[in-house]
Structures are given as structure tokens and as C-alpha cells.
Amino acid sequence: MEAIEELAVQPCTSSLYLRPFRLSYRQNGTKKFWDFMRTHDSVSILIFNTSRQCFVVVKQFRPAVYMCEIERHHPQVFENQDKESFPSLENPLPAVVGVTYELCAGIVDKPGLSLEEIACEEVLEECGYRVSIADLRRITSYRSGVGVTGSRQTLFYAEVNDQMRTSGGGGQPEEGELIEVVEIPLGESMKFAYDETFPKTMGVIFSFMWFHSNIAPKLPKK
């Protein structure tokens, strides 16, 4: 996962996932504009393994996170953005600075499938557990990236056990996915959520808090 080589930054003229726009508008009599991206909505799933009392999350390299760290250490990389080529990265940072812990998730890009069906597919592909729609509990939906994309993410909860695991997960290599499945013990989950040495998404923190408020009090006492 961390063997990142031959880095090259270049302008993005087209994309399957992002479409940049500029909205011009008048608000309370003041003329304004705002640059934004249109992208897919998504689903995410908080997975709890009842056999071993742990959360199942994923760990993967995120180029956008990595490049934020690159810019922090080498701001010249993004200077003169109108040029056809960017400065080469002579001494790139270790890839680990771009690795994050996240909930199992996926974009909504299959019109024929419901959000629940997409969530079930993602749990199987990324984490190796076969769940049904009946195994899912919808927690809520919210807007993410409100200043840039405004896309909607829908969060589900699924309980699994060891018998429901049919593969090691890891995503779809043919689509370029390289995902590591990670288990976070229940007793260590809130410490993990607030430990900044483990880069993570807000979805992990929020969903762990939701679990401790809504599910943990109902668990059998040991």
C-alpha cells in the first residue's frame, strides 16, 4: 500500500468523478460567485463484529490527503497552476502520510440499485462480509464537503459475525482499489477516535459516538 513511486502532478482536464463549475448569483443585492465541484453521492457503513466485539473499518492511501501534506511541506508544487506542467517531486514524503482510516463506503453510481443494495455490495467488496438489506439500519444522511461538493452521504449500521465473512475483502483490484481491513476493539474505540496519530474521517468519529450512545448500552453485560 505504501510503495508510492513516480509521482507527477498535472492539470485535470476531465474526470469521471469530478466536474468543476462556477456559480454566479446575487445574494441580498450583492453580486457573488462560488466555485464548486459536482460529484457522486455516497454511502458509508459502520460495521460491528459481534463475534469479537470490534468495529471493522478500512485503511487506504488517499492521494488528496497525501497532496495536502505535500503542499504543507513543499508549497512550490502548486504554484503557477496555469502552466501545463508542475514541478517534479524530487524528495516526496513517505506514502504513510496519505493513509487514512475510514468507514466502509462507496459512491452512488449505479442507478438501478438502492442505497441499501449499494451498501451491501461495498461491505462484501471492501470487508468481505455478506450482509443483506435486512441487516442494515439507516442511521442518518448528511452533507459532506459543503464548501466544495455539497454531496450527500447516507450512513448505515450493520452487525456481522465471523460466520458471515466470505472473503478477506480488500476492494476490487481491477478498479485500482487497495484496501486493508482493520479491526478496532470496542473497548479501545473512543480512544482511537480521538487519537490524532491515526488519521481518520469524521464519519469514523461520529459513528463510534453514535454506537456508544445507541447500541453499547444494550449490549449484554460481561
Nearest to 100 by CA among 180, 207, 174: 180
Given a cut of 90, is residue 10 above it in pLDDT? no
Grid coordinates belonging to 46: 459502520
The whole-angstrom separation of Cα 41 and Cα 141 is 10
Q: How many CB atoms lie within 10 A of CB 110?
A: 11
Exposure of 210 by Cβ count < 10 A (0-12 exposed, 13-18 middle, 19+ buried)?
Answer: middle
Positions of E strands within 28-102: 30-38, 42-49, 54-61, 99-102
CA 142 to chain centre: 14
114-145 residue pLDDT tens? 999 999 999 999 999 999 999 999 999 999 98
Query: To the nearest whole number, what is the mean pLDDT of the chain?
Result: 91
Give residue-wise pLDDT tens across range 61-76. 999 999 899 888 888 7
Give the residue among 63, 89, 90, 44 at the shortest CA–CA distance from 1.
Answer: 63
Q: Compute the half-sphere exposure of residue 32: CA atoms within 13 Å on the CB side of its CA.
A: 7
Identify the structural domains of the chain with CATH numbers, from first to last. 20-82+90-218 (3.90.79.10)
Is the model's pLDDT at 202 over the cut of 80? Answer: yes
Q: How far apart are CA 33 and CA 36, in angstroms?
A: 10
In this prediction, residues 160-171 reach a mean pLDDT of: 92
